[in-house]
Amino acid sequence: MSDRLPAAVLWDMDGTLVDTEPYWIACEFALVARHGGTWSTEHAHALVGNDLHTSARYIQEHGGVPLPPEEIIDILLDGVVERVRADVPWRPGARELLRDLVALGVPNALVTMSYRRLAATVVDVLPEGSFAVQVTGDQVAHGKPHPDPYETAARRLGVDPGECVAIEDSPSGLASARAAGVPVLAVQHLVDLTRHTTGPVLSTLEGVSPYDLLPLLVAPL
């Protein structure tokens, strides 16, 4: 086991820290059905990790929803926030790894394409100080897969992106972190990541310690 720790850990949220992707998918199906369109699991999986404006335009085109993107985003966010308030579905091992990183003094940033009001619903039930920085989709000019979200997080933390570790579950998230120069650990969820990385793909973060993160990245990503 290595005795080295990352300068910071930059966390994706939906599908990585919390298993909210089923909530998003349920809201997408409901919205499209309300407007007489058709939706599919394939369409839903195509949106995983995307900037919400990109997702809203995709829903307009493929789901036949004749609403402005901002209205589509608000409807989806309302539905997901309501579900998260009723039950926060944590991903296995995520809270434990986050807790252990904080205890060792490693700063954490939340880097999500969800908006602040959803991120706050999740962060508010965690111990205070779990995240030193939050970068949300409504705070950046360009969403994932653009490097802007991860560059912003590293800049706000005052750390070198190359000394950090990002944890991601989507192709767009992997691409965003890489483009920002952040080594990235892939954690499998809804979308197959094996075609998007040459490095290890974990099934969950269960049993992963802060000291495991850098050794897991020895294989090129």
**Cα–Cα distances in Å, from 211 out to 12, 97, 98?**
19, 10, 12
- Banded model confidence at residue 2, pLDDT cuts 50, 70, 90: low
* Strand segments (E) across the chain: 9-11, 108-111, 133-135, 165-168, 184-187, 201-202
Structural domain tally of the chain?
2
**Whether residue 73 is found in the same domain as residue 174:** no
**Cα–Cα distances in Å, from 83 out to 13, 21, 29?**
15, 11, 15
Domain at 96, CATH number: 3.40.50.1000
d(CA 196, CA 187): 12
In whole numbers, what is the pLDDT of the chain averaged over residues? 92
Q: What token pair was written down for 217?
A: 């990245």
Q: Which of the two residues, 184 and 2, has the higher pLDDT score?
A: 184
**Whether residue 120 is found in the same domain as residue 205:** yes
**Whether residue 99 is found in the same domain as residue 187:** yes
182 within a domain of the structure (yes/no): yes
**Whether residue 97 is found in the same domain as residue 35:** no
- Give residue 198's pLDDT: 72
**Whether residue 55 is found in the same domain as residue 129:** no
**Whether residue 131 is found in the same domain as residue 105:** yes
Model confidence over 134-181: pLDDT tens digits? 999 999 999 999 999 999 999 999 999 999 999 999 899 999 999 999
Residue 1 has pLDDT above 60, yes or no: no
221 within a domain of the structure (yes/no): no
**Whether residue 98 is found in the same domain as residue 30:** no
Model confidence over 66-122: pLDDT tens digits? 999 999 999 999 999 999 999 999 999 999 999 999 999 999 999 999 999 999 999
Q: Which of the two residues, 131 and 195, has the higher pLDDT score?
A: 131
Name the 3-class secondary structure at 40. coil
Question: Domain of 36?
Answer: 21-86
**Whether residue 126 is found in the same domain as residue 203:** yes
173 within a domain of the structure (yes/no): yes
**Whether residue 122 is found in the same domain as residue 81:** no
**Whether residue 15 is found in the same domain as residue 25:** no
- Give residue 220's pLDDT: 44
pLDDT > 70 fraction of the chain, expressed in percent and rounded: 97
Model confidence over 148-158: pLDDT tens digits? 999 999 999 99
The mean pLDDT value for 45-62 works out to 90
**Whether residue 111 is found in the same domain as residue 146:** yes
Domain at 30, CATH number: 1.10.150
207 within a domain of the structure (yes/no): yes
- Give residue 193's pLDDT: 77
**Whether residue 66 is found in the same domain as residue 99:** no
- Give residue 148's pLDDT: 97
